[in-house]
Amino acid sequence: MNILTINGLEGVEKASVFEALQKFGDFGTRYYFFSCGNFFEETAKAKGYDSFEDALLDMSSNEPSLDTLLDEEIARLVDEYDKIVIEGFSPWLAVKKARHNKTNRKEVVNILLSCSNSTRIHRILKKEKVITQVQAKLRLTEYEQNQLARIRTHYGFSSVYQLFQKGDFSAEIDVSKAFPSFIASLIIMRFKISVQAT
């Protein structure tokens, strides 16, 4: 396997699984790790915005969108690195686009992490201890509305769920009752990735 993408909505612990993979034996040293969220934050900050949400709303129409910049960065990384792990809302799309444009033959594994909305809300409450359950629900609603606006404009999907239903996923993993370290080991075993202890 050359390219592994970790996809999913907010609250499915993508970043935690991503971090667990980095600590899994020598896997973390053999693969380059790239976070779409970190890229968005760093790019928005470099452009003078407080957050990437502000940048998404305010960037001039004559500038490349953050999604365009992300697609270009992923295309560059997929071309540069033989082994890479990419974590984000839907990096499988950018990888598919990059491989189509360059007729790249690298082996790709796309993982979709999922869980119930109630579990996602519980995790946000646990992480952001100062917010209420109502605020957590509102946050998820706003998040999905923002994502929908982006994918309609950039990829042409009519809904967030259509994007995932039509995704080219190697596996969907329910993360409701599992620790990130277990999910990481499940991915390693499921796709028979050789790992050496460190």
**By C-alpha distance, which of 23, 28, 40, 38 is closest to 4?**
28
pLDDT at 144: 78
Task: For residue 61, tell me if it sits in a domain.
Answer: yes
Task: For residue 146, tell me if it sits in a domain.
Answer: no
Query: Distance between CA 75 and CA 71 in Å, rounded?
Result: 6
Global pTM value: 0.87
pLDDT at 177: 87
**What are phi and psi for residue 157, nearest 5 degrees?**
-85, 145
CATH number for the domain including 41? 3.40.50.300
pLDDT at 63: 61
Task: For residue 23, tell me if it sits in a domain.
Answer: yes
Residue 186, amino acid: L
**What are phi and psi for residue 32, nearest 5 degrees?**
-85, 135
Query: Distance between CA 69 and CA 15 in Å, rounded?
Result: 21
pLDDT at 139: 78
Query: Distance between CA 19 and CA 37 in Å, rounded?
Result: 13
Task: For residue 111, tell me if it sits in a domain.
Answer: yes
Domain span at residue 11 reads 3-115+168-190
**Two tokens, residue 124:** 């946000």
Task: For residue 151, tell me if it sits in a domain.
Answer: no
Query: Distance between CA 140 and CA 154 in Å, rounded?
Result: 21
pLDDT at 25: 81
Task: For residue 64, tell me if it sits in a domain.
Answer: yes
Residue 148, amino acid: L
Which residue has tokens 């050359």?
A: 2
pLDDT at 81: 92
pLDDT in 10s for each residue of the chain, 198 residues? 799 999 998 889 999 999 999 998 888 889 999 999 899 889 888 888 887 767 766 654 456 678 888 999 999 999 999 999 999 999 999 998 887 665 467 889 999 999 998 898 888 777 776 678 888 888 788 877 877 877 888 888 888 878 888 788 999 999 998 899 999 999 998 887 777 766
Instruction: Taking the CA atoms of 198, 8, 113 and 158 in sequence, report the sign of the dihedral they define.
Output: negative
Task: For residue 38, tell me if it sits in a domain.
Answer: yes
CA angle 32, 35, 38 (to 5 degrees): 130
Structural domains counted in the chain: 1
Task: For residue 14, tell me if it sits in a domain.
Answer: yes
**By C-alpha distance, which of 130, 167, 164 is closest to 144?**
164
Query: Distance between CA 172 and CA 166 in Å, rounded?
Result: 12
